[in-house]
Amino acid sequence: TYQEDTTLGSGSKTVIVEVKVDEHLVTFTVKTDKEMLGEALLEIGLIEGDMDTYGLYVKKVNGMRADYEKDGRYWALYIDGEYALSGVDSVKIEEGVVYRFDYAK
């Protein structure tokens, strides 16, 4: 896991992705040519998950696993501070937008 802000990937688009666990926040500057956020984050290994009927179910972000069945924790996605109403794999990348994963319960 990354403990400090860092830049990952290469490409013509710049995406800001924050990862918040309790009070700790790490900001990633992601460089990509992908159109969809999920694709870009999977490509650089920032997220991992399983595909189901609703799309990609994110289970790990920045190396940290959320296990809802075990302790009620999950990764919540926010887009410019608003709770995302769709999965990460159906979010189109928009430059200037801040995406954040919160380790939620």
Q: Tens digits of per-residue pLDDT, 35-66?
A: 999 999 999 999 999 998 889 999 999 999 99
* The pLDDT of residue 53: 87
Burial class (CB in 10 A: 0-12, 13-18, 19+), 104: middle
**Cα–Cα distance for residue pair 58/76, rounded to 1 Å:** 9
The whole-model pTM stands at: 0.94
pLDDT at 92 over 90: yes
pLDDT band of residue 95 (cuts 50, 70, 90) is: confident
Strands (E), 1-105: 6-9, 13-21, 24-32, 47-52, 55-61, 64-65, 74-79, 82-83, 98-104
Q: Count of residues for the chain?
A: 105
